[in-house]
A and B are shown apart, each in its own frame.
Chain A
Amino acid sequence: MQATSSVRETLITGGKTVRDVSEDISRHVENKPNRLWWIAFGFSLILFGFGFYCLAALLWDGIGLWGLNKTVGWAWDITNFVWWVGIGHAGTLISAILLLFRQKWRMSINRAAEAMTIFAVICAATFPLAHMGRLWLGFYWALPLPNTWGSLWVNFNSPLLWDVFAISTYFTVSLVFWYIGLIPDFAVIRDRATRMGHKTRAAIYNALSFGWDGAAKTWMRYESVALILAGLSTPLVLSVHTIVSFDFATSIVPGWHTTIFPPYFVAGAIFSGFAMVLTLLIVTRKVFKLEDYITIYHIELMNIIIIITGSIVGIAYITEFFVAWYGMVPAEFYAFYNRATGPYWWAYWSMMTCNVISPQLFWFKKIRTNIAATFVLSIIVNIGMWFERFVIIVTSIHRDYLPSSWSMFYPTIYDMGEYIFTFGLFFTAFFLFAKFFPVINMAEVKSIIKSSSEQKH
Chain B
Amino acid sequence: MVIYESCAIGSGSQANNPLLQELPDPITKATWDHYVTISLKDAEALGIENDAEGRTQLVTITANGKSVSVAALVQPGQAPGTLGVALGYGRTNVGLVGKGIGANVYPLLTAGESLGYSITSGVKIEKTETAFQIAQTQIHQTYMGRANVVQESILSDYLSNPNEWNDKAPKITSWDKKVPPGSLSMWKGHEYKNHHWGMAIDLNTCTGCGSCVVACNVENNVALVGKEEVINRREMHWLRIDRYYSSEADVEDYQGLEKASDNPEVVFQPMLCQHCNNAPCETVCPVAATTHSTEGLNQMTYNRCIGTRYCANNCPYKVRRFNWFKYHDNQKFLQANPAMNTDLGRMVLNPDVTVRSRGVMEKCSFCAQRIQAGKLNAKKERRPVQDGEVVTACQAACSTGAIVFGDMNDPESKISKLLEIDHYMEVEKDGKVEKVFNHTIDKKIGNPRAYRVLEEIGVKPNIFYLTKIRNKDKDSKNA
Q: In the assembled complex, how far is the CB of residue B22 from the closest CB belonging to chain A, in whole angstroms?
A: 14
Interchain CA distance A74-B314 in the complex, whole Å: 11
- Contacts A133-B323, A133-B358 given: A69-B307 contact, CB under 8 Å? no
A71 with B457: CB separation less than 8 A: no
Q: How far is the CA of A407 from the CA of B149 in the complex (A)?
A: 17
How many B residues touch A, CB cutoff 8 Å?
57
Stretch from B34-42, B118-126, B138-146 at the A interface? B138-146
Does A27 reach chain B (CB closer than 8 Å)?
A: no
- Chain B nearest CB: distance from A241 CB in Å? 18
**If A70-B233, A158-B283 touch, does A132 touch B288 (CB 8 Å cutoff)?**
no
CA distance A203 to B321 in the complex (A): 57
* Residue B202 is within 8 A (CB to CB) of chain A in the complex: no
Stretch at the interface among A11-19, A135-143, A271-279: A135-143
* A407, B325: Cβ atoms closer than 8 Å: no
1/0 contact string of A374-405 vs chain B (CB within 8 Å): 00000000000000000000000100111111
A 67-88 binary contact with B (CB < 8 Å = 1; else 0): 1111101100000000000000
Please, which residue of chain B has its CB at the minimum distance from the CB of A66? B324
Interface string of B312-336 (1 = CB under 8 A from A): 1110111011111110000000000
- Chain B window 365-397, contacts with chain A (Cβ cutoff 8 Å), 1 for yes, 0 for no: 000000000000000000000000000000000
Evaluate whether A251 and B313 lie within 8 angstroms (CB atoms) in the complex, with A133-B358, A134-B307, A142-B287 already known: yes
Is there an interface contact between B142 and A71, defined as CB atoms closer than 8 Å? no
Segment of A34-42, A56-64, A429-437 engaged in the interface with chain B: A56-64
Interface of A is mostly: loop
Interface contact B254-A337, CB-CB below 8 Å: yes
**B33, CB-defined interface residue at 8 Å:** no
B218 to chain A, nearest CB (A): 20
Distance to closest chain A CB from B316 (angstroms):
4
A-B contacts counted at CB < 8 A amount to: 169
Given the interface pairs A69-B233, A252-B316, A334-B144, the reply to whether A407 lies near B305 with Cβ below 8 Å is no
Cβ contacts under 8 Å, A164 to chain B? 286
B309 at the interface (CB under 8 A from A): yes
Give Cα A141–Cα B280 distance, bound, in whole angstroms.
21
Contact yes or no, A132 B317, CB < 8 A = no
Is A315 at the interface (CB under 8 A from chain B)?
no
Whether A407 contacts B233 by the Cβ 8 Å rule is yes
B307 touches A70 (CB 8 A): no
**A63 contacts B313, C-beta separation under 8 Å:** no
Q: A402: which of B285, B312, B316, B322 is its contact (CB, 8 Å)?
A: B316
* Residues in B neighbouring A250, C-beta threshold 8 A: 283-284
Name the contact of A62 in the complex, choosing from B244, B308, B320, B323 (C-beta under 8 A).
B323
- The interface residues of chain B lying within 8 Å CB-to-CB of A155 are 283, 285-288
For the complex, what is the distance from the CA of A132 to the CA of B287, rounded to whole Å? 12
A63 to B232, CA, bound (A): 13
Give min CB distance, B137 to chain A, whole Å.
9
CB distance from A165 to the nearest CB of B (A): 11
Complex: A164 Cα to B144 Cα, angstroms: 38
A153 interface hit (Cβ, 8 Å): yes
Inter-chain contacts of B317 with A (CB < 8 A): 401-402
Chain A 142-176 interface mask (CB, 8 Å, partner B; 1/0): 10000000001111011111001000000000000
> Chain A nearest CB: distance from B107 CB in Å?
37
A133 touches B306 (CB 8 A): yes
Residues of chain A with a CB closer than 8 A to B139's CB? 406-408
Could you give, for residues 318-344 of chain A, a 1 whenever the CB lies within 8 Å of some chain B CB and a 0 otherwise?
000000000000110010011001000
Give bound CA distance, A415 to B357, whole Å: 22
Closest chain B CB from A442 CB (angstroms): 43
User: How far, in Å, is B196 (CB) from chain A's closest CB?
Assistant: 23
| A73–B359 touching, CB < 8 Å | no
Pairs across A and B, CB under 8 Å, 28 listed: A62-B325, A62-B359, A63-B322, A64-B229, A69-B233, A70-B233, A70-B235, A70-B318, A74-B309, A133-B307, A133-B308, A133-B360, A138-B306, A141-B306, A158-B310, A160-B286, A251-B284, A251-B314, A253-B316, A334-B254, A337-B254, A401-B316, A402-B242, A402-B316, A403-B146, A404-B140, A404-B242, A407-B139
Give the 9 A-B CB pairs with smallest separation, nearest first. A133-B307, A133-B359, A64-B324, A138-B306, A73-B309, A69-B233, A404-B242, A405-B318, A160-B286
User: B residues within 8 Å of A by Cβ?
Assistant: 53, 138-140, 142-144, 146, 149, 229, 232-235, 240, 242-244, 254, 269, 271, 280, 283-288, 304-310, 312-314, 316-318, 320-326, 357-361, 453-454, 457, 459
